[in-house]
Structure 1
Amino acid sequence: MRISFGANKRFRVITKNGEAVDISGTLTGGGNAVRRGRINTNVQVMAATENHEDLIPRINEKKILLDEIRAEILSLRNTVEIKSRQFDQAKIEFRRCSQTIEQSKSELKTAENTVKELTQKFAETNVKEELKKVREKIEQLEEKRNNMTEAAEKVKRDFDEISRKIDAIYEEISGTLKKEVDEKKSRQTEIEGNIKTLRTAASKAEIDLKKSNEKLENMQKARETEKIKDRLEADQAVIDGINEKEVGLKREIANGNDEIAKLKDEVKHVEAKFAEITTKIEKLKTYDIKEILADKTLEKDKKTASKKKKKNTKTATTAIFCELNENSDESDLSSSDSEDDNEEEDKREVRSTTSAASSKAKAAADSNDENSGILPTYSAEEIAEFDSNEIQCQLNIVENERAGIEVAMNLNLIEEYRTKLRECKKEGQILKEITAKRDKIRNRLGELKRLRVEEFMEGFTEIAISLKEQYQKLTMGGDADLELVDPMDPYSEGIKFCVRPKGKGWRPMNLTSGGEKTLSSLSLVFALHHFRPTPFYVMDEIDAALDARNVMLIAHFVKERAETAQFIIISLREQMFNLADRLIGIFKVNDCTQNVVTPGLECIEDAAAATESHEFIIGTDAEKESVIRNKLRRRLEEDETDNVAAPKRARKVM
């Protein structure tokens, strides 16, 4: 102790018993050796053996003792402050005296040199008076030096005495007060650092706010662009539907044109037959007039019947072609936007053909009307002159011609065309209904996509803002950002996670170190928890790549969030599981995995108060908790009686 707390210099001393006396005055060492490697496999929590009512007076006594100690500590603090001020003043005075002594020494040396020079210079002259003056001055300076030396020694003695008193005070309060003062100083330094960090974060937040506003404007532009894109897609879909409809109508028109071509062929065939019959009729007119007169009545009847038949046939054909023309006009009107010039020419040809057929039928009908007046009457002599065989022959010719006309004119094609036309109209109506349903579903799908993107962007923005806050808290000034790879389509390329650790530049998450990745991932997890809280989390060694400071920071961070969620954390770091509400130790003995479950902190404090109530613990809640846990761990190790192998390193689970 004499060597450690010497008057001139202090040393750190190690005694023979292994005790260490530090320069600051702390004394460490001693105590019983910790017995390890005999963990009891059947651990039972120590229960309180005394009644809680008996503990109340003892707790009150300890509280009174605590108040007295606190008052004594406060008094000692005041004394230390006073002595510190006195010590500072003594130091200042000592420095001033030392400077005066040094100055006097330098003046004395100067005076001696001056005396020597004057002695050599005025050796032959009478310098007694000057020498006397110099000696008087030297005596004065020596007297002044002696006074200064005495004052310096006095100051040094006072300084040594104050140092001893301060050392004694430090020795008295070093166990509790020094630690608390150091904690307060470190806390003050930490608060000052936090203030600087918050100021820096505020300035960065302003910059981030400007960037966020710019990003918001870009997102709004992206949304408008997306709406325009959706409209273009909808318009394109409508155009595709119209094109499909146009192709279908063209196909129907092509089929109709084929049918019209067939009908044209039929009409031409009928006209050829009609011309042939007309030629035969003209040839019959060139017969002998007598024979014609003889057969006049019969020929008139036959001609009348034949003309009526032809008239009826032509009238029916004309009506059918008129109806076909009307249907074709309706079909042409429905597809007028998609027909080309060739189809228009085909329709003009069909119309001209039907018009020609109608005019021919009308001319034939007019001729029939003119020729079919009042039937002539014949006398019995004229009738007797008619030849029945000739009449029968003419009748057979006319019937054969009529049969040929009926065979050549296939009226089933017209009926089939009508059927196809009705089916086309029906399918067109069904197509319109399906198109309307498709457009309705497509509009609904576009609305749902728009709502999905809006909800996603709202959640994404909130998570990005929360991520910035969480990352800044974890890294004490860093920054993080979430960006969309493709703002036009958020679901196509995903997101990009970039971070800026404190004192470094921006970089993607895949280019960061293991500890930075851990902090970034935890920031994202806590941001998601802020956006949509989850009641239960399981984390496996999240502190493996972190140092002790960051482990403690994350442990307190998780402790704050534990109010709204339950965290089960597998950890091997003491800084992490010292803050746990409950510990589960997993170990292996004789190839058999076992576990030890410790109760909550309240039960541990009750057990410690019941078993070691004579000890009083001073410190913060975390320090108390650590001391109690260590005591309980030592008690469990001491109570172990089975000789078992040393367990492997336990995995602590919060």
Structure 2
Amino acid sequence: MSEMDSLQDKVKDLDNLINEKINERMGPLKKRRKTLEKNLKENQTHLNQLVSEKTAAELNLKKVEEALANNMKSQQETEQEMEEIKKQIAELEIVAKEITEKYENAQEECHKKEQELNDLRTRVREIDAKFNAIKNSELDLKLESEEKFKFLNEKREKIARYLAELESIKLDPIDEDEDDQQQMEIDDQTPETNVKSSEQEKSKKEHMIIPILSDEELEHLSVDMIEKNIKSFHHERQNLSPNFGAIETFRKNRRDYLSKVADLDDITAKRDLYMEHLRETKDRRFKEFKTGYLIIARKLKELYRSITLGGDADLEFIDSLDPFSEGINYAVRPNKKTWKINIHLSGGEKTLASLALIFALHYYKPSPLYIMDEIDAALDFKNVSIIANYIKKRTRNTQFLIISLRNNMYELADRLIGIYKTFNITKSIPFDPIEFDRKFDVKNSCTQSTINTQTTTATQQSQQPMEN
């Protein structure tokens, strides 16, 4: 029994020794196995991750290829639209050229009318000067004629008086020599005067009665005294002879005067007609201008109050009787501030005031096209949004081309054209947000996010998006 026990003990010892040897040799192998299993598990996980990434990459590649194909198609459509836009621009340029020609023709016609008006004014001044000269001549002629008539009447009275005195004197028959001498004196005058003087002398001789003197009266008469009286009478008669040429001159001057008065009346009537036409034109211009002014002023007040959320604006004639000579005063009152004129406003306030006036003018007389260069540069975020929404909603049937770097301005655009520069080459990117949303069924927020992403990248490369 003891031997069996000892053998069993030896067997146990040997088993223990074998186990120890096995454990000594298997320990590193187990550790290595665990390490390999761990590495295998990690590699399997990494492999699964790579497979997932590969699958995702393949899906992304497929999506990118589809997006690229769509972009190529969209680019082709955009190029076609650009061609159509170019055609429309060419047509608009033709229309603009025609409008410009009409405007230039109207300006030229206006200049001609102004020149004609100036000529008429000059002619009216000349006519007034001639009229005054004719008036002065008329007065001079009137005074001269009055003096001539007065002088003539005096001479006629003297002639009548002397004839009466001669009729009361009896004379012997006058010999032919005296008649010849008188005839020679008369011949020195003009032919017309001679004829009239001859008729007058003949009339005098016919009406002259030589009285018959008594013997006593004849005794007191002497030949010398009679000859002396006769010579004296002849001398006085020659001095008293009327100048019939002055009467003819007066008649001629009177005819000229009446002709000039008729011309003056004709020219004065034409002047009055032109002045009346000018007055009516000025009145019509003032009425039309005032009608437009009242509409623009009322709309300006409304627009400025809406875009400034409580401000006020006013247009006022500097001279209410003649607004064309002095002009119009434009004053605004920004929200919660006092009234100011344009030169005392800040940059943003000037921008809002100017845009309000432009929109008021557009309301009165719409224009088909506006080009605005960074009108939002001096505005804050709120005012940029107000102006952008007004342009978007209120200005229908009008095209606005706006150069802007503010996203809350160009996010509302119907068309975007990004301008950027790479490698010293300027390029452009056209983009149609509405067409993009319609094709890819993207919500508005996603579209705005896409616009922001693309335009931000382009802006970093000196992009200036233009709203159309």
What TM-score results when the alignment is normalised by the length of structure 1?
0.41
Q: What is aligned with 1:652? A: 465
Q: 1:604 aligns with which of 432, 436, 444?
A: 436
Structure 1 residue 604 displacement after superposition: 1.9
Structure 1 residue 306 displacement after superposition: 7.5
Q: What amino acid sits opposite 2:71 in the alignment?
A: M
The 1-side partners of 2:162 and 2:209 are apart by 20
Structure 1 residue 564 displacement after superposition: 1.9
> Residue 475 in 1 paired to residue 308 in 2?
yes
Structure 1 residue 535 displacement after superposition: 0.8
Q: Which residues in structure 2 correspond to 1:370-389 (within 5 Å)?
A: 371=209
Q: Any gaps of 5 or more consecutive residues in structure 1?
A: 1-42, 50-237, 286-291, 321-360, 374-393, 610-616, 638-645
Q: Any gaps of 5 or more consecutive residues in structure 2?
A: 1-67, 75-123, 212-226
Structure 1 residue 242 displacement after superposition: 9.5
* 1:454-497 CA distance string (max 9 Å, x none): 11111111111111111121111221111111112211221111
Q: What is aligned with 2:400? A: 567
Contact 1:587–1:595 under 8 Å retained in 2: yes
Q: 1:602 to 1:593 in 2, by over 3 A?
A: same
Q: What amino acid sits opposite 2:448 in the alignment?
A: S
Q: Which residues in structure 2 correspond to 1:72-151 (within 5 Å)?
A: none
Q: What is aligned with 2:269? A: 436
Q: 2:425 aligns with which of 592, 603, 606?
A: 592
> What secondary structure does 1:432 align onto?
helix
Q: 1:406 to 1:589 in 2, by over 3 A?
A: farther
Contact 2:418–2:455 under 8 Å retained in 1: no
Structure 1 residue 597 displacement after superposition: 1.9
Q: How many residues align?
A: 321
Q: What is aligned with 1:182? A: none
> Residue 525 in 1 paired to residue 347 in 2?
no
> What secondary structure does 1:455 align onto?
helix
Q: What amino acid sits opposite 2:138 in the alignment?
A: E
Q: 1:246 to 1:541 in 2, by over 3 A?
A: closer
RMSD of the alignment, in Å? 5.1
Q: 1:280 to 1:550 in 2, by over 3 A?
A: closer
Q: What is aligned with 1:46? A: 71
Structure 1 residue 572 displacement after superposition: 0.9
The 2-side partners of 1:504 and 1:421 are apart by 76
The 2-side partners of 1:551 and 1:434 are apart by 63
* 1:414-440 CA distance string (max 9 Å, x none): 322221110101111111121122122
> Residue 626 in 1 paired to residue 448 in 2?
yes
Contact 2:166–2:208 under 8 Å retained in 1: no
> What secondary structure does 1:651 align onto?
coil
> What secondary structure does 1:544 align onto?
coil
What TM-score results when the alignment is normalised by the length of structure 2?
0.55
Structure 1 residue 245 displacement after superposition: 5.1
Q: 1:437 to 1:584 in 2, by over 3 A?
A: same
* 1:12-52 CA distance string (max 9 Å, x none): xxxxxxxxxxxxxxxxxxxxxxxxxxxxxxx9980459xxx
> What secondary structure does 2:319 align onto?
coil
The 2-side partners of 1:276 and 1:627 are apart by 128
Contact 1:474–1:554 under 8 Å retained in 2: yes
The 1-side partners of 2:267 and 2:130 are apart by 13
The 1-side partners of 2:373 and 2:356 are apart by 16
Q: What is aligned with 2:379? A: 546
Contact 1:605–1:628 under 8 Å retained in 2: no
Identical-pair percentage: 33
Q: What amino acid sits opposite 1:624 in the alignment?
A: C
The 2-side partners of 1:555 and 1:459 are apart by 26
* 1:189-247 CA distance string (max 9 Å, x none): xxxxxxxxxxxxxxxxxxxxxxxxxxxxxxxxxxxxxxxxxxxxxxxxx9xx9998576
Contact 2:169–2:210 under 8 Å retained in 1: no
The 1-side partners of 2:455 and 2:250 are apart by 101
The 2-side partners of 1:607 and 1:630 are apart by 19
Contact 1:604–1:629 under 8 Å retained in 2: no
The 1-side partners of 2:371 and 2:466 are apart by 10
